[in-house]
Chain A
């Protein structure tokens, strides 16, 4: 085994080991503490868990790309909410309503285009102004949320289309529609990042931006495309989720960006860019969802869940640091 392979293996495998630990813990703790009769590792419960992972998971795949690229996107929660409003509201527009169920693909398209357009705005500003993506998307987070409220004030936007609900609640080969979307997005993003020139360039730019520029990679347009991809995925996430629920509150999706980033970081993607994996992000998404669901299963309230996840995130980053510096005989500072 070449030097460095063991620690790489440990890091890649760590998230899956963590998931196994979680499952064991909640299965055992569930026996004693759960209010419900059902075991935690129940098949239906696991299927539901996958389905519930989809909204965060789909966005997390885009966030992995953005973070590997050396950027960050804090506006995904607001993009998610705005795309949801476009999806539901557009179906009530007269010309759309006249189309009957044919309105559905158009509504989806409008929502997804909204996501792409918002992402393009972020990417364009980052490209042309050179302002840090953190600041640009922080502004976008507030700005896009403002648009959400301008749309319908404090009122929820609702529209139920039963064909759409049936589609969203359908199960194919045992998996829910949302789960299928999550798996397809994961596969597509894995392919993009590992097999295409665009994906490999994303790693190169995140790893050493100057080297990438000197090698003739057009970093600006590249970054803009990545922001359009994450905008698209944030909108897709909304499309999948709100097809079923049919009602969006103006505060929906708040703090999504933080959950998504937490999942990506748990999966081992470096905050500084250059390193990260789609498969590990998938693990990170599952780990968070199991934790939320598991803590709920043993009767913990939401506040406790947030506290525990926060502690675990810090512990993970600490362990990661220890793992990284050990070989280098870190100096004490």
Chain B
């Protein structure tokens, strides 16, 4: 079976929006039983391509073939009817309904008088769930399931139609490592059944683990297809950004100042226990661990969002009690949150107003907001952080992820903080902007800020941190200097293995 007919083929797709050529003659195919990665920076055209495939946008040129038959996807239902199924990053489930109702949403089996045929519904659903070997049944209410299991419900939905191709869009974004393993098994299963799989992700590690081929888009153009087994991360990255990404270990030994923040025996319910650490001025401390290890919760405590049950927080040697973010901000603590769009920015507001949001009260001229002062602050930090935007009037929602992140960082820098907490600084940011953000974090430390970086990406933690704190299930397992740390001992630490236990 060397010359298989592709399960799905896109030929020379062109899609233009007013003023933009979003897709410029892109071709792409996925064979039956193949996992084909689609990669590219944000804005490279991946999502536009998938919207064309899903019937949300109509291409200006080019054609789509399912098997050997050219098709027109006029709307999302067409795609589904042709056997093209999407597993979206943001789950699209009705949480109050049962698993069965969600899987057969829009196609509930009927009896007379428009009644639901519950028996058939539950029997069919349980059959599909059995294939997926999941631990819940048709009658479970979706809202009570974990994110990973909700994703299984989406996948189960894909199995109700005779799927030719399944598109996974960043499926692991909110999964734990154990849950990822289950997902990968399901993908293997689909593969064996001869389904073609398009896998969209930024995570190289996963791409190299499960895909057969990798196709890369850049600036709306097709840049080539690589066979996964014959390439490496460098080659893919170069194809994606046109140069290679520096993720070498941090070797710098910065001049450290005084202790800016000290945390002693801090606990908060079951979220984390007896955590102690300090961060000096000029130092970047990376917090590494699995999702749920308690890192974000510590950051939220330092930012006054959570009340600790025990322990002390000392700022410049003085104990403080932080009851609200307003307290924390007044004490010089800033948080760049993980959920940038949800918690860090007002997307419908312009760049300038977002940047001056926390201090607009201090910028008043009489009863009015001093717009001139606001613009001055914006200009200053736009230049300092190299924020690329046509001007301060631009709505933040229209900026790229990297520039949005810089606006959030600029917002806090303009408040002259002591401690800057950055939670997952490069989540959802494309590779090119990633290195800029990394450099920015290093620069800030060099300028004397104390920086706490929370990240789930090991190369990132190793790249930016002077010291790395490993956490596991709410406990601080070990603190490494950049000289001590290796990938092995770091992985052991975040799995809960302490150095002394290993020796014993």
Question: Quick one: CB contact mask for B193-211 with A, threshold 8 Å, 1 for yes?
Answer: 0000000000000000000
A275 at the interface (CB under 8 A from B): yes
Assess A332 versus B324: contact at CB under 8 Å? Given A215-B105, A217-B106. yes
A212 at the interface (CB under 8 A from B): yes
A207 and B95 form a contact (CB under 8 A): yes
CA distance A211 to B271 in the complex (A): 33
Q: Which residues of A contact B306 (CB under 8 A)?
A: 331-332
A203 and B108 form a contact (CB under 8 A): no
B residues 130-158 touching A (CB-CB < 8 Å): 141, 143-144
A303 at the interface (CB under 8 A from B): no
Instruction: List the count of A-B residue pairs having beta carbons below 8 Å apart.
Output: 76
Assess A329 versus B269: contact at CB under 8 Å? Given A200-B108, A204-B94, A207-B97. yes
Assess A216 versus B106: contact at CB under 8 Å? Given A197-B115, A210-B92. yes
B106 and A215 form a contact (CB under 8 A): yes
B114 and A204 form a contact (CB under 8 A): no
Determine how close the nearest CB of chain B comes to the CB of A303; give it in whole angstroms: 38
B305 at the interface (CB under 8 A from A): yes
A residues 1-37 touching B (CB-CB < 8 Å): 2-4
A207 and B144 form a contact (CB under 8 A): no
Q: Which residues of A contact B106 (CB under 8 A)?
A: 201, 204, 212, 215-217
B116 and A274 form a contact (CB under 8 A): no
B residues 251-265 touching A (CB-CB < 8 Å): none
A196 at the interface (CB under 8 A from B): yes
- Nearest opposing residue in chain B for A209, CB measure: B94
Determine how close the nearest CB of chain B comes to the CB of A214; give it in whole angstroms: 5
A195 at the interface (CB under 8 A from B): yes
A197: contacting residue among B92, B95, B108, B307, CB under 8 A: B108
B residues 270-318 touching A (CB-CB < 8 Å): 271, 300, 305-307
Q: Which residues of B contact A196 (CB under 8 A)?
A: 113-116
Q: Which residues of A contact B105 (CB under 8 A)?
A: 204, 211-212, 215, 217
B108 and A208 form a contact (CB under 8 A): no
Determine how close the nearest CB of chain B comes to the CB of A103; give it in whole angstroms: 32
B residues 33-73 touching A (CB-CB < 8 Å): none
Determine how close the nearest CB of chain A comes to the CB of B98; give it in whole angstroms: 9
B144 and A329 form a contact (CB under 8 A): no
CA distance A136 to B214 in the complex (A): 50
- Nearest opposing residue in chain B for A192, CB measure: B114
Q: Which residues of B contact A329 (CB under 8 A)?
A: 269, 271
- Nearest opposing residue in chain A for B90, CB measure: A210
Determine how close the nearest CB of chain B comes to the CB of A176; give it in whole angstroms: 29
Q: Which residues of B contact A159 (CB under 8 A)?
A: none
CA distance A197 to B107 in the complex (A): 9
- Nearest opposing residue in chain B for A204, CB measure: B94
B116 and A207 form a contact (CB under 8 A): no
A204 and B92 form a contact (CB under 8 A): no
B440 at the interface (CB under 8 A from A): no
B97: contacting residue among A198, A204, A214, CB under 8 A: A204
Given contacts A207-B97, A331-B305, A333-B305, 17 further A-B contacts (CB under 8 A): A3-B144, A4-B144, A195-B116, A198-B114, A200-B97, A200-B101, A201-B106, A204-B94, A207-B95, A208-B92, A215-B105, A216-B77, A216-B80, A216-B106, A216-B107, A274-B95, A274-B96
The 4 closest A-B pairs by CB, nearest first: A215-B106, A207-B94, A215-B105, A216-B106
* Chain A residues close to B by CB (< 8 Å): 2-4, 195-198, 200-201, 203-204, 207-208, 210-217, 274-275, 329, 331-333
